[in-house]
Copies of this chain bind each other. A is one copy, B any other.
Amino acid sequence: MAISNSNNRFSSKLTSQCQNCSLSALCLPIALADEDVNRLDQIIERKRPLKKGEILFHQGEEFDSVFAVRTGTLKTYNITNSGEEQITGFYCPSELVGLSGIDENHYPVSAKALETTTVCEIPFAHLEQLSSQIPSLKHQLFRLMSRKICDDQQMMVLLGKKNADEKVASFLLNLSHRFKKRGYSATAFRLSMSRGEIGNYLGLAVETVSRVMTRFQKNGLIDVDGKEISIINLPEMEKLVGSAGECATIEHV
């Protein structure tokens, strides 16, 4: 099964390719024929890992690639006129970052690594071109963008209608789902973002996030140890969330 790497046009020793990437079932290659995965592979660049705090792209920078997270976590954020950071999303392995840059041809947000993170860079012009030749790839792209729209709208509901408890519970369960989909534990995981970043993302003060989590722990819903989270009472958490995750519940393949 050894894949010939001889004509790999990238200098690096990072030999990973879509074919042997454990995330291919979740990422772009989904539903692609082997030969098509190969063609996709050709245009993807594996970059050196980003260290914690390093920036993948800056708000305002010219858009030319989308990025698939392979390991680690990213956050996207923009700096408001008043100078404060507003986090718009967290990105786990297999997830695609940068799609919002297509429209204006500039990234409207910055992307920063929350921990050591590796990404696959996918030059969008190439991807778009390739998508003309591979209908299933085009369809996959449309689906991914559509899902992003769907997810963001769920987030809007969360921000507009939910109280602090519901927000935090939704956030934790959302992470839980995403870890589960990737084959990790749905009930025990490590938060790669700080309380401050969670609060920023959820529209809550740091103190509120802290208080809610402490209370959840007191009530036996979760177990918190710094950044390590265990969900003890999943059903109760789901009850708390209530309406959340309309999109997410119709779990896709």
The smallest beta-carbon distance between A66 and chain B, in angstroms, is: 10
Say how many copies of this protein the assembly contains. 2
Give which listed residue, B138, B150, B250, B252, contacts A132 with CB less than 8 A: B138
Interface residues of A in 4-23 (CB under 8 A from B): none
Q: Determine whether the beta carbon of A108 is less than 8 Å from that of B242.
A: no
**Which of A108, A135, A242 has the most B CB atoms < 10 Å from its CB?**
A108
Q: Determine whether the beta carbon of B86 is less than 8 Å from that of A143.
A: no
Interface residues of A in 112-148 (CB under 8 A from B): 128, 131-132, 135, 138-139, 141-148
- Interface hit among A67-75, A151-159, A173-181: A151-159
Residues of B within 8 A of A33 (CB): none
**Which of A82, A159, A160, A202 has the most B CB atoms < 10 Å from its CB?**
A160
**Which of A128, A131, A145, A147 has the most B CB atoms < 10 Å from its CB?**
A145
The smallest beta-carbon distance between A144 and chain B, in angstroms, is: 8
Residues of B within 8 A of A42 (CB): none
Question: Does A196 interact with chain B (Cβ within 8 Å)?
Answer: no
Residues of B within 8 A of A139 (CB): 128
**A92 and B109 alpha carbons, distance in the complex (Å):** 26
Contact A149 to B86, CB < 8 A, known contacts A156-B155, A160-B202, A203-B161: no
* Interface residues of A, dominant DSSP: helix
Interface 1/0s, chain A 160-178, versus B by CB < 8 A?
Answer: 1100000000000000000
Q: Determine whether the beta carbon of A88 is less than 8 Å from that of B153.
A: yes
Contact A142 to B143, CB < 8 A, known contacts A156-B156, A160-B202: no
6 closest cross-chain pairs (CB), A and B: A160-B203, A80-B243, A102-B146, A159-B159, A103-B146, A152-B152
Interface set of A (CB-CB < 8 Å, partner B): 78, 80-82, 84, 86, 88-89, 99-104, 106, 108-109, 128, 131-132, 135, 138-139, 141-150, 152-153, 155-157, 159-161, 201-203, 242-243, 246-247, 250, 252
Can you identify 5 A-B contacts, CB atoms within 8 angstroms? A86-B161, A103-B144, A142-B145, A145-B146, A149-B149
Sample of 5 more A-B contacts, CB < 8 Å, known A156-B159, A159-B159? A86-B243, A100-B153, A104-B147, A128-B142, A152-B156
